[in-house]
Structure 1
Amino acid sequence: MRKDLRIRRVRAAGPDPRFSRAAPFRFSAVAVLAPLLLAPPFFDAALMGAGNPPDEEVVVTANAYPVPFGNLSRTVSVLTREDIAELPVHSIPDILAHAGADIGSRAPSGMQADIRLRGSSFSQVLVLVDGVRLNDSQTGHHNADIPIPMEEIERIEVLLGPGSSIYGADAFGGTVNIITRAPDPGVRATVGAGAHGFAGGSFSAGIEKGALRQALGVAFSRSSGFRPDRDFHGVTLSARSRIGDATTLAVSHADREFGAEGFYGPAPSREWTNQTLVSLSRSHQAASGVRADVRGWYRTHGDRFLYDVRTPGLFESRHRTHATGVSARALKPLGDSAALTLGGEAGADWIASTSLGDHSFAWTSLFAELGWSAGKRAFLYPGIRVDRYSRFGSALSPSLSGGLWVTKRIRLRSSIGRAFRIPTFTELYYRDPNHEASPRLGPERAWSAELVADFIPADGWLGTLALFSRRERDVIDWVRPSPGEKWRTANIRRLRTDGVEVGLRHSPGPRAGVETRLALLASGASSVDYVSKYVLDYARVAWSSSAHFSLPLGIRSRHSLIYKRRADGRAYWILDGALSRSFPRFTLGIEGTNLLDGAYQEIRGVDMPGRWLGVTLRTP
């Protein structure tokens, strides 16, 4: 399998001696206490991090139609563009790491990364842009190739847990929905430079003429790399036109080239990827109260991989995937306390590949969700969806979720749902001397349940405690009985994942905030003797803390600290930070990543950069 030339034995592998936990712990006390020691004297107001206070009427897409935050029955992290501006991040995967995602990066600046949620694999997370599916049918490694400049993001919503009753396939561990910014007049620009020959920037402009609003955005980044054959450069373009409040046309494109030394083997590899997304949507509000939305889209992704740049044409593969689809949904109010959503989708995916061959499939779906609420105190959302695939059969995905405000400061929530995922073309058709895919693979399925308590201990504070469990069947993975044999794709009979999540957020004012979250997971397949390549690679312990606040002389401080201990024993700390000061015409900032300069690997065998420092200049 081109994407999986590296051999990883998750169960048996011990921690790499280069990644000893002793050195990072010398810094841990200071690092952990820093946000609390520095923040209080300069707190002067506000919201920090993912999520929103329960009294805010912020709508999210955890249901078939948006609902007020106070009526949410599911666990959702929401980061607005204001929240993102207060985080020391450089890419969308960096942002997602602050919303509960377990990110596995092979390169900085989001050049290539895997997104995992609640112990899922990278293929078990659905990525959407304005509700349009972005998951690639070739391999889940491409799901983070998101063709949207960061400056064009309005907010990012991360739904934890199953979402197949709303979105269909792949919404196993969770769903990421990137909502783009509405076109608005004005010009914004950012430029930056830093270590390892890094240079980057973005530019966006919007105009308004009568009912027509248009926006253009471009972002670029390049680096000579922190070591040979780890250079990269990328460009992202976007254009959106909106006519009134009903019709939107969006076109976006991303083009990337990067050195991939060590990504899939010991050779100096190189990879080129590109993705284009086109969507057209229209909304209509009838006098009867019925709201209807119709959307059509086309997506294409290209991937060229050269295993060894010293031997061009040898062990080289090229892939081109396509996806097209249409969707329609309608919301019908049923009195003052209920509403019914009905909808359907249809689409097709196909691939032309030098190593996988030419393949395709088509799909259709129907879904329904009922929303009921007793004022703002209790709410219930039963839903169901059926998907039909031309080669994988049918999948039924029911769900039920609800919540109750026990008091003004305590809310209880619970949900249960079924999810499924179909195999990618790589899992079905890839073959090389060390790998053999099976075209007989079937879909994987899971039941997931969660129980959540939200509490407000005092004004400006919000805490969350969540317990969840997932029971998977026919899980797709690359496995082998012993190290000397080939990796083969198979449907693992049963897998169980259990976890607990704890979060606490303090918002003392509009210009300061602190948030911390902890996730503990356990996953395993009982009574199965095999070596797993991907499914059992998860973060057993994940802790993160972030803070932003004001310092004297008008300086703003933003920093975050992340600790992870993976199932195979690897453990690492990552401290990022930034300082900035605003002037009448611009904002000047300095920023750093991996400030502890620790050696770490988010994906086994792929080293990440050490300490990095840079400067930025942005317009208001």
Structure 2
Amino acid sequence: MRSVAAVLVVLGAAGATGALAQTPAPASPVPALDERVVVTGTAAPVSAGAVGRTLAIVTADDLQRLPVASVTDALRLLPGVWVRQRGPFGSQTDISIRGASFGQTLVLIDGVRVNDPQTGHHNGDLPVALEDIARIELLAGAGSSLHGADAVGGVINIITRREASAPTARLAAGQYDLVQGAVAWRPATMGVFQGASASVDRSSGFAPARDFVHQQVRADFRFGRTTLAVSHLDKDFGAAGYYGPAPSQEWTTQTLVAARHQRPLTGAWSVTGDAWYRTHGDEFLYDPRVLGARANEHRTHVVGGGLRVGGRLSSSLRLTTGVEATGDWLRSWSLGDREEARVSGFGELEARVGRLLLYPSARVDAYTTFGSAFSPSLAVALPVRPRVKWRASVGKAFRVPTFTERFYTDPNHRANEALRPEQGWTADTGLDTYLGGTWVATVTGFVRRERDVIDWVRPDATVRWRTENIRDVRSHGFEAFARGQAGPLALGAQYTFTRVETDRLAGLSKYVDDYAPHGVGGDVSLALPWRLSTAARLEHRRPYGREAWTTVDLRVSRPIRRVTAFVEMANVGDAQYQEIRGVAMPGRWARAGITVK
């Protein structure tokens, strides 16, 4: 793996060195590049044009223009991300990046991890409304040196709004008794209270036992230099076919409390302290028709805190370092009562050599259950033209097995308590082009090598599924992405090719071989005469070993003073498809509504 990574970095550096020699060094390391400040690709906030890793951004403006009906729909706009739902509007969502498994994607809200230690199927339970989102940042590739476990395929960080805004409301209705409502407000002069939101989505379902009710509420507060956010999500949904041929029912809840305190120190140094508490509940009834059937009930609790110190050592050197500690508890009648904890230490150096930016970083995570994991990485960024940046990165990442993978047992499954963490190296290199205004275009090539990958396997259908560290996985691919706006026209386009190769098994596999070699996405919005606006979003997937499908969503809207009326139709072509094998997704689905500001 180290030789592959070295080849990628050296080849990219060779192409960039010629341009560096021909162009006088500018006063700033990244002139005329993207100046939007981002927080996911480095340990300290920097402009997007200075990041050496593969980074993509979707903004609130993008979400407002396009036919996006849920937070999970918003994630589909990110390049290399495959959002696979078992139910519409985010009832249950698996998120994959660059062909990695859903458990190898780390999901954050304002930098706080929401990955659930019980199972990665709950990582899409996001207690935020569309109205809360300021932007979504995607860090593709190994992210464990910055963010710890599970960041093998990449990291998705949902950044919530902080600026004051007028009250807004949204109301929509559609087929299958769909009703959606949301309100949000961030007042400018309310002292401690900084804002709140609430939303609800409900439907009788497009098929039997596919009904759902999703409810969310959030409140933000500020006490001097300390911010506090409290959010809660409650979901009740029909889960027919999710885990077998039965009209199952599932109830999940997610509560997140996060506090952050920031304070300047002497000189150019500052300190940030974080504390968080997250609890997730899951109740699953496989077949309500069975008299006396008992639901599986699980409750996880995660409490943690961290301290981060950063500042300049010199005009060309910046250091960010910190420590974290977390504790996880599971209370479950089927998985048992489980506890584990970890402590972590990390550091990143930002070094400027001429126009070249270097970001070496490393992190150590010590677990009470799994021992320790060392995650180093190196990222580099170099402007080779006034509006072109070359970047490359290489890093190690890991994933710890979930409680379900270690302890779940039923007549068809037998977990393995002795599972080891997965390990992987990723290297990528690419070019980012900033074409002026909001236009950004990127191309990236990547390779990933993993060992001890966990999968549910069995020799044939007569034997129970069992979890094992038996897979060595080799992946490589190519990504292209562009987004921007010119006058009344806004465009977004992405293409991803991914190849995942594994050691062949004499039997069946549940997850590792389920990926999409080709993914195409596109969106367009256009302002028309008479103040009309129209938008479309297209997604094409061709999963490995399955039929391809294409879905198109449309939106037409028109503002009337403070009210904007809209009509949307999802899956206009009425495609019949399954994002997760065996679970049908809805056909054509129309809705109409208004937003008020």
TM-score by length of structure 1 reads 0.89
Q: Which residue type is aligned with residue 302 of structure 2?
A: A
Q: Does 1:553 align with 2:533?
A: no
1:104 counterpart (72, 79, 84): 84
Which residue of the other structure, out of 284, 288, 295, is the alignment partner of 2:267? 288
Task: Tell me, yes or no, if the aligned pair for 2:34 and 2:47 is still in contact at 8 Å.
Answer: no
- Who is 1:454 aligned against? 432
- Deviation string 1:553-580 (CA, Å, 9 cap, x unpaired) is 1111111111000012221001011010
Q: Which position in structure 2 is the counterpart of 1:34?
A: none
Deviations 1:171-202 (A, max 9, x none): 11011111111162531110000011000110
Q: Is the 8 A contact 2:33 2:387 kept in 1?
A: no
2:382 to 404, 407, 424: 404
Deviates further, 80-89 or 261-270:
80-89
The Cα of 1:458 is off from its aligned counterpart by: 7.9
> Which residue number corresponds to residue 423 of structure 1?
401
How far apart, CA to CA, are the structure 2 residues paired with 1:482 and 1:259?
A: 30
Larger relative contact order (C-alpha < 8 A, sep ≥ 6)?
1
Residue of structure 2 in register with 1:36 after alignment: none
CA contact (8 A) 1:183 1:214 kept: no
Counterpart for residue 569 of structure 1 = 546
Aligned to 2:284: 305
Quick one: which amino acid aligns to residue 288 of structure 2? V
Letter in 1 for 2:101: S
Name the aligned partner's letter for residue 321 of structure 1. T
* 1:236–1:254 Cα contact (<8 Å) kept: yes
Q: Find the aligned partners of 1:148 and 1:607 in 2 and give their Cα distance.
A: 26
Match of 1:160 among 111, 133, 140: 140
CA RMSD of aligned residues (A): 1.6
1:131 maps to amino acid = G
Matches within 5 A, 1:424-573: 424-455=402-433, 461-509=439-487, 511-526=488-503, 528-573=505-550
Distance 2:251 2:473 in 1: 35
Question: Which moved further from structure 2: 349-358 or 284-293?
Answer: 284-293
Contact 1:153 1:180 in 2 (8 A): yes
Aligned counterpart in structure 2 of residue 223 of structure 1, from 203, 207, 211: 203
Name the SS of the counterpart of 1:109 in structure 2: helix
User: Which position in structure 1 is the counterpart of 2:371?
Assistant: 393
1:345 pairs with 2:358: no
Q: Is the 8 A contact 1:119 1:523 kept in 2?
A: yes
Q: Give, in angstroms, the shift of residue 285 of structure 1.
A: 1.2
**TM-score normalised over the length of structure 2:** 0.92
Contact 1:473 1:494 in 2 (8 A): yes
Cα contact 1:233–1:257 (8 A) shared by 2:
yes
SS in 2 for 1:309: coil
Aligned to 1:588: 565
The whole-number CA distance in structure 2 between the counterparts of 1:129 and 1:312 is 41
Distance 1:530 1:399, change over 3 A: farther
In structure 2, the CA distance between the partners of 1:506 and 1:352, relative to structure 1 (3 Å rule), is closer
Instruction: Number of aligned residue pairs: give it.
Output: 565
Q: Distance in 2 between matches of 1:290 and 1:112?
A: 42
Give the 3-state SS of the residue equivalent to 2:517 in structure 1. strand
Shift of 1:211: 4.9
What is the alpha-carbon distance in structure 1 between the residues aligned to residue 66 and residue 329 of structure 2? 38
Tell me how far apart the structure 1 counterparts of residues 190 and 214 of structure 2 sit (CA, whole Å): 35
Q: CA deviation at 1:409?
A: 3.3
In the aligned structure 2, how far is the partner of 1:130 from the partner of 1:506? Answer: 24
Gaps of 5+ in 2: 1-31
Matches within 5 A, 1:203-352: 203-209=183-189, 211-244=191-224, 246-311=225-290, 313-314=292-293, 316-352=295-331
Residues 312/617 of structure 1: CA separation in 2 closer, same or farther (3 Å cut): farther
Aligned residue type for 1:278: V
Judged with a 3 Å threshold, the aligned counterparts in structure 2 of structure 1 residues 378 and 313 are, in CA distance, closer, same or farther, namely farther
Aligned partner of 2:125: which letter?
D
Contact 2:455–2:471 under 8 Å retained in 1? no
Amino acid at match of 2:469: N
CA contact (8 A) 1:61 1:67 kept: no
Could you tell me which residue of structure 2 aligns to residue 79 of structure 1?
58
For residues 241 and 313 of structure 1, what CA distance do their matches in structure 2 show? 45
Q: Find the counterpart in structure 2 of residue 39 from structure 1.
A: none
Residue 350 of structure 2: aligned partner? 371
Residue of 175, 178, 182 corresponding to 1:195: 175
Q: CA deviation at 1:89?
A: 0.9
Query: Is contact 1:93-1:115 (8 Å) kept?
Result: no
Closer, same or farther in 2 for the Cα pair 1:181/1:467, shift >3 Å?
same
Residues 196-251 of structure 1: CA deviation (Å, up to 9, x unaligned)? 1000110112334475342111000100111111110111000110234x210110
One-letter amino acid of the counterpart of residue 184, structure 1 = A
Unmatched 5+ stretches in structure 1: 1-52
Which amino acid in the other structure matches residue 454 of structure 2? I
Query: Which residue of the partner structure matches residue 71 of structure 2?
Result: 92
Q: Which residue of 2 aligns with 1:68?
A: 47
Look up the SS of the partner of 2:150 in the other structure: coil
Partner of 2:9: none
CA distance in 2: counterparts of 1:206 and 1:400, whole angstroms: 39
The answer to whether residue 594 in structure 2 is matched with residue 614 in structure 1 is no
- Contact persistence 1:183–1:240 (CA under 8 A): no
Q: Distance in 1 between matches of 2:331 and 2:142?
A: 31
Query: What's the offset of the Cα at 1:516?
Result: 1.2
Secondary structure, aligned partner of 2:155: strand
Helix, strand or coil: the match of 2:33?
coil
The amino acid of 1:174's aligned partner reads G
| Matched residue type, 2:278 | R
1:123 equivalent to 2:100? Answer no
Distance of 1:322 and 1:460 partners within structure 2: 41
User: Which position in structure 2 is the counterpart of 1:147?
Assistant: 127
Give, as a single letter, the amino acid of the residue that structure 2 aligns with 1:204: A
